[in-house]
Structure 1
Amino acid sequence: MSGAPASGLWQRIALPEADVSLWPHWLDRDEADALFAELREAIAWENHRIRLFGRELASPRLSCWIGDPGAAYTYSRTRFEPRPWPAALAGLRERIEQACAARFNSVLANLYRDGNDAMGWHSDDEPELGAQPVIASLSLGAERRFRFRRRRARGEPAQPGDLCTLPLPHGSLLRMAGSTQRLYRHDLPRMLGLAAPRINLTFRCIDTSAH
């Protein structure tokens, strides 16, 4: 498969040696509104526990791991067995696979209840995702800032352009591929004063033979 998205009004994000594309309006507003409302009710949201600096803490968002049978996922030393696909996501998966020229057998759904919920710096580089995973991220609800930061060796000075910030509006689709996860970390910082919620769906393909 080529590294470029299959079709649509997309833009390539200028990150050196990475492969990142964004469709700012992949879903129209009416469809995005309906999908947000349906998923907020249909998904079994949980407050996952994560390990951070040697302590176990409640994750600063609600989540649900969804996927095909066998597509378990290990994150922060915790193994998550997939919940079945809700009807609203089964058809959406096929459309996103076509748009991103990739196959997905799982999705991490995150509910950011307001601007106090966030995601810290990390890369989606777990072994079961493979060396160059394709990650498709669909955003619904409140627009939030999404940041990329170039990985640097300890003591290596930062360079201009190491940090890139993208707004992810309601109905947008972000595609990350190639060496993006190996070379960059990403986060979703807090937004003080934001009361509106956001749902994010990150589609991936787990190597089930690794389990």
Structure 2
Amino acid sequence: MYEQISLLDTQPYNNNFENKPTQKVVVRTDGEVILYSNFFSRQESDHFFHNLYSSVEWKQDKIQIFGKNMPLPRLTAWYGDEGKSYTYSGIEQHPEPWTPLLKSIKSKIEELSEVSFNSVLLNLYRDGKDSVSWHSDDEPELGKNPIIASVSFGATRRFSLKHKISKSRKVDIDLAKGSFLLMKGETQHFWQHQIAKTSKPVQARINLTFRKIY
């Protein structure tokens, strides 16, 4: 079963935000994934993108593949509460202190998700050659059923999900600027996700995935 999500196929979400975000439940079984397609306005999104692009301490980590150290095909940064380190794919991240901008984004994310996050992984996809391969956010320090709150600024990129057991179950979502994707429940146990490379001309995208480290 394959599904492609259109940002037009959404329903109003009843909350207290001035500009009502729209929501669509993308995954309902073996976890829950909810898309809020216009969580941040275009003006907010552009402001966040340009500020983060120029102010974040971006770095390019390396990952070992078949015995060779290869640069990750994207730039990353890790911010969070003191002591909230994180290790994935053999890369150990130590947090930079929260900036006022990241705190303001986190506050709005927490208001809707009703979760208190203590860290965030930032990814800068410079062009269509940058990507992240199939994976689940299931590292031990994230706990049993981690809640991942993902927001996107800049260019639209395709986010794909596939079920680990039912291989035919796949979902593609075009994440535009200002979108907020919330993954919770058993999602990380049963699903993998990726941002694939694309040969289409595409500008830079910044993605923030808020997490809770235990």
Compute the displacement of 1:184 (Å).
Answer: 0.4
1:174-185 equivalence runs, <5 A: 174-185=181-192
Q: Post-superposition, which runs of at least 4 consecutive aligned residues in structure 1 deviate over 3 A? A: 5-8
Q: Which runs of 5+ in 2 are unaligned?
A: 1-12, 16-20
Indicate the residue corresponding to 1:191 in structure 2. Answer: 198
Q: Distance in 2 between matches of 1:97 and 1:14?
A: 21
Q: Does 1:158 align with 2:167?
A: yes
Identity over aligned residues, as a percent? 39
CA displacement, residues 131-188 of structure 1 (integer Å, 9 cap, x when unaligned): 1011000000110100001112xxxx733xx111011011000000000000000000
Q: Does 1:81 align with 2:94?
A: yes
Alpha-carbon contact 1:141-1:170 (below 8 Å) kept: yes
Q: Which amino acid in 2 is paired with 1:126?
A: E
Q: Distance in 1 between matches of 2:202 and 2:188?
A: 30
RMSD: 1.5
SS at 1:90 equivalent: helix
Indicate the residue corresponding to 1:41 in structure 2. Answer: 54
CA displacement, residues 113-137 of structure 1 (integer Å, 9 cap, x when unaligned): 0011001000000000011011000
Q: Distance in 1 between matches of 2:14 and 2:91?
A: 35
Select which of 56, 71, 74 maps to 1:61. Answer: 74
Indicate the residue corresponding to 2:34 in structure 1. Answer: 21
Indicate the residue corresponding to 1:51 in structure 2. Answer: 64
Q: Does 1:137 align with 2:158?
A: no
1:111-130 equivalence runs, <5 A: 111-130=124-143
Q: Distance in 2 between matches of 1:132 and 1:195?
A: 34
Compute the displacement of 1:16 (Å).
Answer: 2.5
Compute the displacement of 1:9 (Å).
Answer: 2.3
Q: Once structures 1 and 2 are overlaid, which stretch shifts more, 105-114 or 6-15?
A: 6-15
Q: Once structures 1 and 2 are overlaid, which stretch shifts more, 142-151 or 72-81?
A: 72-81
Compute the displacement of 1:53 (Å).
Answer: 3.7
Q: Distance in 2 between matches of 1:198 and 1:9?
A: 21
Alpha-carbon contact 1:43-1:86 (below 8 Å) kept: no
Alpha-carbon contact 2:61-2:91 (below 8 Å) kept: no
Compute the displacement of 1:96 (Å).
Answer: 0.5
CA shift in 2, pair 1:75/1:26, >3 Å: same
Q: Distance in 1 between matches of 2:101 and 2:146?
A: 24
SS at 1:66 equivalent: strand
CA displacement, residues 81-105 of structure 1 (integer Å, 9 cap, x when unaligned): 1011122111111111111111100
Matched positions, count: 197
The structure whose residues are more often strand, as a share, is: 2
CA shift in 2, pair 1:53/1:177, >3 Å: farther
